[in-house]
Chains A and B, each alone.
Chain A
Amino acid sequence: EAGVTQSPTHLIKTRGQQATLRCSPISGHTSVYWYQQALGLGLQFLLWYDEGEERNRGNFPPRFSGRQFPNYSSELNVNALELEDSALYLCASRLTGNSYGYTFGSGTRLTVV
């Protein structure tokens, strides 16, 4: 069974640009979560998608947005990039209503210069 896959692995952007990060959940998992891990900080909850709908979002500005496609894959978009957006972005999937544990991907390392 393929795990959660994220692309790209690394992404370098300049300040003010837009970044698009992609995530494919485990087959059959309908919930996708996005977390940000900035240097020295824990995993900060960004967004939760389930069945194509945004269900909840963390304390991040509106320039962080995303969507979930009919095949349950997901995209995270970060507009007007700032230097402090440099972080590891982790995607996780979960079988809705089945368990509390998430399965994480390996993440996308975003560097804003």
Chain B
Amino acid sequence: DQQVKQNSPSLSVQEGRISILNCDYTNSMFDYFLWYKKYPAEGPTFLISISSIKDKNEDGRFTVFLNKSAKHLSLHIVPSQPGDSAVYFCAASPTGGFKTIFGAGTRLFVKA
């Protein structure tokens, strides 16, 4: 039972354009959502998060949007840079963050 779904295995974007990565979840008990970035041969690193009481959180070039009614969140990267090429994991946690559930990941390619 996939509680967190990233339906796009990969995404290719031109440098300077916007990258939009999508994520859907099914469990209404999730109240905290996170995005992690993973380079080859490294562990995932925390990128940005959003609480369920918000619908938008911004950090530099990265913005996460949350639509609770649709159980959907997205990560926007503007402008995209070649160094952003990595696998991006969407994750969700219930209150307390004791068991974070991850999606399958989306591989982003940013072409120079």
Contacts and interface: CB of A to CB of B under 8 A. Distances in A.
B49 A101 contact: yes
Q: Tell which of A33, A45, A101, A107 has the most Cβ of chain B within 10 Å.
A: A101
B102 A42 contact: yes
Nearest to B42: A106
Interface string A69-113: 000000000000000000000101010010111111111000000
A100 B102 CA distance: 13
B103 A45 contact: no
A102 B105 contact: no
Given A48-B98, A56-B99, A101-B49, A90 B104 contact: no
B43 A42 contact: no
Contact of B105 (A42, A92, A101, A106): A42
Nearest to B32: A100
A101 B43 contact: no
Given A100-B32, A100-B93, A104-B43, A45 B105 contact: no
A54 to B, nearest CB: 13
A35 B36 CA distance: 14
A42 B34 contact: no
B42 A45 contact: no
B102 A107 contact: no
Given A100-B32, A100-B49, A100-B93, A45 B43 contact: no
Contacts of A44: 102
B6 interface: yes
A105 to B, nearest CB: 5
A2 interface: no
7 contacts: A42-B89, A43-B102, A45-B102, A90-B44, A100-B34, A100-B97, A104-B45
Interface of A: 4, 33, 35, 40-45, 48, 55-56, 90, 92, 94, 97, 99-107
